[in-house]
């Protein structure tokens, strides 16, 4: 049984995803499902399990980038979304 859910995506990513779905002759749902299945079924080796995410540090000042406030959940989610988009670029 299929379930409905709401996801928040960067506007540009959503726009590109809709275009890709249209050019491939499928729905946005099908495109998202295919990508999500790839991520969920992805095998993790020992090294990648121990890998940590570096904090967004400014190379100029050595501290956090000015635009990042780790007390705001939306900033952290946005950073995760950007990282995810970069990873998905390798699944073409």
> What is the spatial distance between Cα 26 and Cα 58, in angstroms, rounded to a whole number?
41
Q: Is the dihedral of CA 58, 55, 84, 50 positive or negative?
A: positive
pLDDT at position 39: 85
- Does 80 fall in a domain? yes
CA-closest candidate to residue 81, choices 15, 6, 11, 28:
11
Question: Residues 28-40: pLDDT tens digits?
Answer: 999 999 999 888 8
Question: Residues 42-58: pLDDT tens digits?
Answer: 766 544 555 666 666 65
Tell if the pTM clears 0.75, that is, is over it.
Answer: no
Range of the domain at 29: 10-43
- Does 74 fall in a domain? yes
Question: Residues 13-29: pLDDT tens digits?
Answer: 999 999 999 999 999 99
Total structural domains within the chain: 2
What are residue 36's phi and psi, to 5 degrees? -65, -40
């Amino acid at each position: 049984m299929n379930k409905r859910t709401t996801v928040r995506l960067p506007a540009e990513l959503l726009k590109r995803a809709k275009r890709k779905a249209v050019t491939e002759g499928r729905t946005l749902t099908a495109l998202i499902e295919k990508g999500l299945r790839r991520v969920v079924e992805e095998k993790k080796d020992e090294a990648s399990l121990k890998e940590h995410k570096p904090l967004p540090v400014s190379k100029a000042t050595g501290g956090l980038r000015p635009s990042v406030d780790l007390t705001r959940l939306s900033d952290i989610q946005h950073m995760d979304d950007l990282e995810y988009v970069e990873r998905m670029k390798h699944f073409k």
